[in-house]
């Protein structure tokens, strides 16, 4: 048994769960006419209705006690203080600094001057692009930007650029995203693009990421074929990296190398120059509204008491299902096509942060951590996997995300009606009719209303989930900010690659991998 599962707060929850295991959502509502209002929390542009969860006032009291026991407030303070809470890498965790407006980090490292300087350089670059001053080797204006990055250098900017499609600035280039080492990815993105008018943003903290560097080399080849090798190809590249020398070696001019820092993890880096593609699409003013939105949520997270703190509440409800109801996944359903990439973004944010099995002291945990996060945009999801949500054998807690914008008319109303209907049907079920038509109901979901899908509100939404992940990590006593689990795979891939290309020694490999290698080896 771990200290956590033996703790008073945990044991109280386990005892309480035995009662709630048979609770009925309908009865919880019947017992408390004020439930819908009491179980709704609002901050800024975000409203969370968590009334359709298998929780009552006592559940919340016990969950908050768990948060207090885990010293969530202390950990928030330590993060803001710039302490090295990413212990396995000995690093601070300062993505909140990327959207801060004041130096608040003691420990002798006020990073705000760095942040502000980078933002100013982004602004000049973006403004140049929008007024047509960003030109390629032939002097033609840049009309298309292709972001070459993977993981955190891809998922965040990709999601936000699509989400803010309606805010594309006058004169803004079109922005495309390429992540996969498979050349088909770049090839498809370049269809219809003109080398003379295309700029590549190469985003990699180390500037050694195989996928990104391979794509940069291919991009260079494409430019050379189109423009000739003697052309000033450097004018078609910018870089976002902590490795200036690497970017220089690719021919990127120093003024086009934007910084990354070791106190920001990839999956938390959207707010830095990694967000350059977003800023190129919507302009720097709008990009700063995104930062402002996040900053507002930071302030709420920093100061609101746990029971009225959106990220804390969402984290506690996740822990309630994962650790006490044995839920193994959560489905995320944005009802708005422009937010369609949000589930993929959350997959990295949540599963890479909290998919861990040893605690901060290195002991294996005896409780479940990050569940599988999956989802797709509604309404298409309804015509795909909702069958299983309603009538499958496994209840899956759901996050419905809808937009409050009332100017959308019937089309917007249709989205909202569908989202609310799905959430209601999951809870209410359907006892009528033949057995194959019946829905068991009593399946939990949150409804998150985002007042509008604009930069400020999106910033709040993303920061909400970032902090939720942080709180979960604190309670689970794991380090949410490393990702050691991906290292061994990289190492093995490095040893397999030459064997695939040139054959050779297969010693030390398992028999399955040996057989597959023999089968797949270039002949």
Catalytic residues, which ones? 352, 383, 490
Position among 348, 442, 460, 477 found at the interface with its own copies (CB under 8 A): 348
Position among 59, 281, 422, 460 found at the interface with its own copies (CB under 8 A): 422
Q: Give every CB contact of residue 72 below 8 A, 6+ residues apart in sequence.
A: 306, 312, 471, 474, 475
Q: What share of the chain is helix, strand, coil (3-state, %, to 5)?
A: 55, 10, 35
Select from 136-144, 226-234, 254-262, 343-351 the region that touches its own copies (CB under 8 A).
343-351
Please, are residues 354 and 469 in contact by the beta-carbon 8 Å criterion? yes
Position among 56, 154, 318, 399 found at the interface with its own copies (CB under 8 A): 154
> By C-beta, is 260 or 291 nearer to its own copies?
260
Select from 114-122, 230-238, 457-465, 492-500 the region that touches its own copies (CB under 8 A).
492-500
Instruction: Report the phi/psi class of residue 139: left, alpha or beta, with left for phi > 0 and alpha for psi in -120 to 50.
Output: left
Position among 44, 82, 136, 151 found at the interface with its own copies (CB under 8 A): 151
What is the closest distance, in whole angstroms, from the C-beta atom of residue 114 to its own copies in the complex? 25
> By C-beta, is 185 or 288 nearer to its own copies?
185
Q: What are 120's two structure tokens?
A: 């100013």
Name the residue among 260, 223, 253 with its Cα closest to residue 238. 253
Position among 65, 114, 292, 385 found at the interface with its own copies (CB under 8 A): 385
Residue 327's beta-bridge partner residues?
Answer: none
Q: Which of residues 99-138 bind its own copies (CB under 8 A)?
A: none
- Chain center to CA of 60: 26
Q: Which of residues 41-80 bind its own copies (CB under 8 A)?
A: 47, 49, 51-52
> By C-beta, is 139 or 410 nearer to its own copies?
410
Q: How many residues sit close enough to its own copies to count as binding (CB under 8 A)? A: 143
Name the residue among 315, 333, 338, 346 with its Cα closest to residue 421. 333
Q: Which of residues 181-200 bind its own copies (CB under 8 A)?
A: 181-185, 188
What is the closest distance, in whole angstroms, from the C-beta atom of residue 95 to its own copies in the complex? 17
What is the closest distance, in whole angstroms, from the C-beta atom of residue 35 to its own copies in the complex? 6
Q: Is 357 near its own copies (CB under 8 A)?
A: yes
Q: Is 211 near its own copies (CB under 8 A)?
A: yes
CA distance 467 to 514: 44
Q: Is 377 near its own copies (CB under 8 A)?
A: yes
Q: Which of residues 236-275 bind its own copies (CB under 8 A)?
A: 266
Q: Give every CB contact of residue 406 below 8 A, 6+ residues apart in sequence.
A: 412
3-class SS of residue 46: strand
CA distance 249 to 245: 6
CA distance 166 to 407: 14
Q: Which of residues 423-482 bind its own copies (CB under 8 A)?
A: 423-425, 427-428, 430, 434-440, 447, 449, 479, 482
Please, are residues 157 and 277 in contact by the beta-carbon 8 Å criterion? yes
Alpha-carbon distances of 47 from 52, 309, 340, 435, rounded to whole Å: 14, 12, 20, 36
Select from 128-136, 251-259, 286-294, 374-382 the region that touches its own copies (CB under 8 A).
374-382
Select from 130-138, 140-148, 402-410, 458-466 the region that touches its own copies (CB under 8 A).
402-410
DSSP state letter for 323:
I
Q: Give every CB contact of residue 274 below 8 A, 6+ residues apart in sequence.
A: 149, 152, 153, 156, 157, 203, 240, 260, 266
Q: Which of residues 20-39 bind its own copies (CB under 8 A)?
A: 26, 29, 33, 35-37, 39
**Going residue by residue from 304 to 333, which x/- string records binding to its own copies, judged by CB under 8 A?**
------------------------xx-x--
> By C-beta, is 316 or 331 nearer to its own copies?
331
What is the closest distance, in whole angstroms, from the C-beta atom of residue 482 to its own copies in the complex? 7
């Amino acid at each position: 048994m771990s200290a956590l599962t033996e703790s008073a707060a945990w044991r109280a929850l386990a005892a309480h769960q035995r009662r709630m295991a048979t609770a009925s959502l309908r009865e919880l509502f019947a017992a408390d006419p004020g439930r819908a209002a009491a179980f709704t929390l609002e901050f800024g542009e975000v409203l969370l209705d968590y009334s359709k969860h298998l929780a009552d006032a006592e559940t919340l009291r016990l969950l908050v006690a768990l948060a207090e026991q885990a010293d969530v407030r202390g950990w928030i303070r330590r993060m803001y203080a710039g302490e090295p809470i990413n212990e396995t890498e000995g690093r601070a965790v300062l993505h909140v600094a990327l959207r801060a407006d004041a130096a608040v980090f003691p420990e002798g490292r006020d990073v705000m001057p760095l942040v502000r300087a980078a933002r100013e350089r982004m602004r000049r670059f973006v403004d140049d692009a929008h007024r047509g001053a960003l030109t390629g080797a032939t002097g033609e204006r840049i009309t298309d930007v292709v972001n070459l990055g993977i993981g955190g250098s891809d998922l965040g900017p990709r999601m936000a650029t699509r989400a803010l499609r309606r805010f594309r600035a006058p004169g803004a280039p079109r922005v495309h995203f390429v992540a996969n080492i498979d050349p088909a990815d770049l090839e498809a993105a370049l269809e219809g693009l003109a080398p003379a008018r295309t700029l590549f943003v190469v985003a990699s903290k180390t500037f050694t990421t195989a996928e990104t560097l391979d794509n940069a080399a291919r991009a260079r080849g494409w430019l050379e074929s189109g423009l000739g090798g003697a052309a000033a190809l450097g004018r078609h590249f910018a870089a976002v990296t902590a490795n200036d020398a690497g970017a220089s070696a690719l021919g990127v001019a120093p003024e086009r190398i934007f910084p990354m820092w070791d106190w920001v993890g990839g999956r938390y880096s959207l707010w830095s120059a990694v967000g350059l593609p977003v800023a190129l699409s919507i302009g720097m003013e709008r990009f700063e509204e995104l930062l402002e939105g996040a900053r507002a949520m930071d302030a709420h997270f920093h100061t609101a008491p746990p029971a009225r703190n959106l990220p804390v509440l969402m984290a506690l409800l996740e822990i309630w299902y994962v650790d006490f109801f044995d839920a193994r996944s959560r489905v995320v359903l944005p009802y708005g096509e422009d937010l369609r990439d949000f589930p993929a973004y959350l997959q990295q944010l949540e599963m890479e942060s909290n998919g861990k099995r040893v605690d901060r002291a290195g002991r294996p945990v005896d409780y479940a951590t990050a569940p599988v996060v999956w989802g797709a945009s509604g309404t298409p999801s309804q015509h795909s996997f909702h069958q299983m949500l309603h009538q499958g054998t496994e209840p899956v807690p759901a996050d419905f995300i809808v937009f409050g914008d009332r100017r959308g008319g019937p089309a917007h109303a249709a989205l909202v009606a569908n989202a609310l209907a799905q959430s209601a049907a999951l809870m209410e079920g359907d006892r009528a009719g033949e057995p194959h038509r019946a829905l068991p109901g009593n399946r939990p979901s949150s409804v998150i209303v985002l007042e509008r899908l604009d930069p400020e509100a999106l910033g709040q939404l993303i920061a909400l989930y970032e902090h939720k992940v942080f709180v979960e990590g604190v309670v689970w006593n794991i380090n949410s900010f490393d990702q050691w689990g991906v290292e061994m795979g990289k190492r093995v891939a490095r040893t397999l690659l030459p064997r695939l290309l040139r054959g050779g020694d297969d010693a030390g490999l398992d028999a399955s991998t040996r057989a597959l290698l023999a089968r797949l080896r270039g002949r």
